[in-house]
Structure 1
């Protein structure tokens, strides 16, 4: 199996047609993060995942190959989420969703629980407790201070009690 670095270099040197390998490797991971960030909104998560990969393809030359590719992709997806929220204010929480979330029944309680959090709290909570990111990594990914990450986590946990 090729390393992330090898695949990125293939894309950069031999053509973007190799980007499909990156999508196959990380599509489910990025989609999973977006499902949790959007509190289970499948269609919005699909749109955000697709948008994130389009942006990743466009800006692949700016990717720092010393960092993890999946972290970079998640960072792009989270930025897409924030942009779409601001631009369209089209986010629909799980309580207001018109379509049932039938594909992921095991996560229904989780989605309902985190739906009470703000989008920033949901992003940080998901990265910390679902994907086990360190506070420092979350701060770096979101360009915020580590102490801010800690206080947002504390506030989110208090809301969830």
Structure 2
């Protein structure tokens, strides 16, 4: 009985792309990670699917062009999240006055379940709109994408202490905002 071929690891696919310019291998990496990258960007852009798709496309283009820069020290998905956040922040720099709408939290999705805050969806969306983009990113990465503080700090290219500060400030802002909700 013939055995099924093993699914190649991310590292094996990356090697094929780098050594043979294997675009199918890169396509498999995209297929493997696009849902998570688009989900992150959708939350950061306030549920704007078109903008999230545009940013995801830019993320994967940058990843392809910069694949030689991936050192393997972090998970490939974390490296992609870092590119996605940089793409989002660079877009956001052009529109600092206009904060993006709050992330849309869909039923059944991995929303932002903050353990010490019991939140109504609508109230949470309004409160998230008041967060700075890096605070929102810190919350999304640690709660919705379930990264450790260390992983999220790598993604956001900041010290772990700074990441923890972003998370703590964001949670406190959410708490204050939600206390005002009747």
CA RMSD across the alignment: 2.2
CA gap of 1:44–1:147, structure 2 versus 1, over 3 A, is same
Which residues of structure 2 form unaligned runs of 5+? 1-6, 112-120, 176-182
Per the alignment, residue 3 of structure 1 pairs with: 9
Q: Which runs of 4+ in 1 moved over 3 A?
A: 87-92, 107-113
Shift of 1:27: 0.6
Q: CA deviation at 1:113?
A: 4.2
Residue 140 (structure 1) aligns with:
154
> Is 1:81 aligned with 2:95?
no
**Larger C-alpha radius of gyration, 1 or 2?**
2
Residue 87 (structure 1) shift: 3.4
Match of 2:100 among 69, 93, 96: 93
What residue in structure 2 maps to residue 15 of structure 1? 21
Q: Structure 1 stretches of 5 or more lacking a match?
A: 96-100
**Bigger proportion of residues as helix:** 1
Aligned length: 154
- TM-score (structure 2 length as normaliser): 0.76
Deviations 1:75-105 (A, max 9, x none): 000000111111355966337xxxxx7xx74
